[in-house]
Amino acid sequence: MNPSDVPFLSGVELAEAIRNKRISSSAALEVLIERVERLNPPLNAIIIKDYDRARKRAREADAALARGEIWGPIHGVPFTVKENNDVEGLHTTIGNPKDKDRIADRHEVMIQRVISAGGIIFGKTNLPIDAMDLQSYNVIYGSTSNPWDLTRTPGGSSGGAAAALAAYLTPFELGGDIGGSVRGPASFNGLYGHKPTYGIIPKRGPSLSRVATEISVRGPLARTIEDLKLLVSITAGADEANVGRRGWKLDLPQPTKSSLKEYKVAIWADDEMAPVCDELTETAEELAQFLESKGATVDRNARPNFNKWENQKLWVLLTAANRALNPGTAGNTSLRDYRMARERQQVIIDAWEDFFNEFDILICPSHSSQCFLKDESEDMNARQLTINKNNKKMVIPYFQPIFWAFITNIGDLPSTTFPCGVKNGLPVCLNAVSKVYYDNITMDFARLLKLEGGEKYSFTAPPGYSKAASAKM
């Protein structure tokens, strides 16, 4: 194969090419390194480079293959991970200056599983300080830009991961999500992303954690749904090293529907608590009409039966509770408040279960807008966003759009972000949500959308980063 094709292969395709010896792992790695060195500087997506160890591992992968050994389904595939994921020997700072010298002494469980499956880490990607912003910049690594428009953010907190993916600097990525940190960046860059059911991907191992452990998850981002499904299958499952988790085995339900017409879908495209821009509400309506044309049942008004304000408050309270237990951070949540929050969370989980006894899929946005112009002013709470609403400009509070992440995080629900084309020169995405442990169903719904809906429901390369554009360089 032509080595210049490597960046534009999916992880699945690259793994197959390496296994079939159409290209070596070492050669594939060098192609990606060259592209990173050439295209990453204005993006600042990949902020830690681990080239030497990756080269050694790639040589070992090639030697193993020559002996007839295959390490796993992604044997010899180079990839990058979000900075807050612990990789032995690399910095884990979460962009916080007080931890600028911290180096992980071991791989966290998720990372080890991908390495054991044959993957080769060659770098880490940028994020906001403490992974708690809708953009990706910090004083250690600087600011990351969106490849669709360098004046816009790639999102946060997995913004570096999403930008690297969209620019074809890496075949897939691993991030995390507590308030849309996978789904938002995926949406802002036109990618697939998966926020898994809480607990199915182990979180044991990170040396730093400043998020609410009851609602935070690890999850993958990719340019294809096939890569997304593969990464979930590799990383999900009980943590065998954790004594308390040895009593269960993950057995996620498998898809039973073969076409979109078999689905009953609810559309939640807008809400007074987090108004959504015209571009996204139009996209949701276009999807609704497309699904109806395929014979699916679509309800634009159905909503789960819980208090949205309480849902919002629970996210804030659980996050604050974790800060209260985390040395060096502010927090004053009482144990009583925490226990009550956990009990109320179960009420919301039960309401979602009732909702998904009637519907197979809920469609909703990840954010109120498409990728927005960077605003890196120090006081995040004073920032504002301007969206197009009913053909007029509407100003909303900066963090108001996290509402769309809260509704699924508090419910422990799986949510798959999928591309829906381009509007006004910027990508648009939506989310497919389903009941707890129905991760394979939300991902398969996205697969069927591409199968029956065509290229509109697949990743589109940003201008200047496509295979055709690269051929002209």
Catalytic residues, by residue number, are 82, 157, 181
The answer to whether the beta carbons of residues 310 and 406 sit under 8 Å apart is no
6: CB partners within 8 A, 6+ apart:
14, 23, 27, 28, 31, 32
473: CB partners within 8 A, 6+ apart:
none
Strand-pair partners of 453:
none
Strands (E) across 104-191 are located at 120-125, 137-138, 142-143, 172-177
d(CA 117, CA 263): 34
Distance of CA 461 to the CA centre of its chain: 17
d(CA 416, CA 217): 13
d(CA 27, CA 65): 14
Structure tokens at 28: 């594939």
**Three-class DSSP category at 67:** coil
7: CB partners within 8 A, 6+ apart:
31, 32, 35, 168, 169, 470
- Residue length, the chain? 473
The answer to whether the beta carbons of residues 121 and 101 sit under 8 Å apart is no
d(CA 226, CA 247): 30
- Residue 202 DSSP code: -
Exposed, middle or buried: residue 123 (CB in 10 Å: 0-12, 13-18, 19+)? buried
Q: How far is CA 210 from CA 157, 276, 441, in A?
A: 13, 29, 31
